[in-house]
Amino acid sequence: MGAGISIDVGEAAIRSGAFTTYDTTVAIAYADKSNGDLKYARLDVDDPSATWYIAVVHNTDGVANIDLNLHAGPSSNDLQAQIAYQEIRRADVRYAYRNTRWYVQRVATDGTVGGSVQLSFDGDDNPAVTYYNAEAEALYTSTRTSTGSWTTAKTAAAAMPMSIALNERTGASILSFQHRRTRGVLNKIMA
């Protein structure tokens, strides 16, 4: 049933008087191979009576290259599930976040994009989706603005494999990717 799985563990600080406790959540985003949907599952591991919450994020014909992150969201400072992925049928890049329901936005549609997709966040906690554009043979990063629109900039000429490591506390991230000509691995610090 599941394919293209992305998993994240998040801790939400809950202040109660002079004490702070942490509520730990395990979440999974995955492609439902039986119908092509993007699905999300979450479990509160600190609650012994908790059961898995499962939802359809995007009812579509197929998804790939899924990257999930539990992070302060665009509509709340609390942890929100945020997912970047490729919609296979159109070969475009999408971003989804959950508030009280799922909201899906198109990030990139020009050309064959999304062969590799990574989600990170800028210094203001705006989601930034870095993706591979096969026709341009380059990586691009689209950042969501406060108005909900996306600004896009070329990040590097590159071959497809890439990975972004994000330090949740400092907001610093490092992009590792394969150089287009030499096939060597390069690193770039993301702003």
137-176 tens-digit pLDDT: 888 999 998 778 999 998 888 776 667 777 766 767 777 7
Print the domain residue range for 84: 2-190
Q: What are phi and psi of 151, to 5 degrees?
A: -110, 140
CATH number at residue 102: 2.120.10.70
The total number of structural domains in the chain stands at 1
Residue bearing the bigger pLDDT, 23 or 55 = 55
E-strand ranges in the chain read 2-16, 19-32, 38-44, 53-58, 63-73, 76-87, 92-98, 102-108, 113-121, 127-133, 138-144, 150-166, 173-179, 185-190
Q: Model confidence over 123-142: pLDDT tens digits?
A: 788 899 999 888 888 889 99
The Cα–Cα gap between 56 and 128 comes to: 23
Q: What is the pLDDT of residues 39-80, one digit of tens each?
A: 999 998 888 899 999 999 999 989 999 999 998 765 666 788
What's the rounded mean pLDDT across residues 2-19?
Answer: 80
d(CA 148, CA 108): 14
For residue 1, what pLDDT band results from cuts at 50, 70 and 90? low
pTM: 0.85
Distance CA 105, CA 96 (A): 6
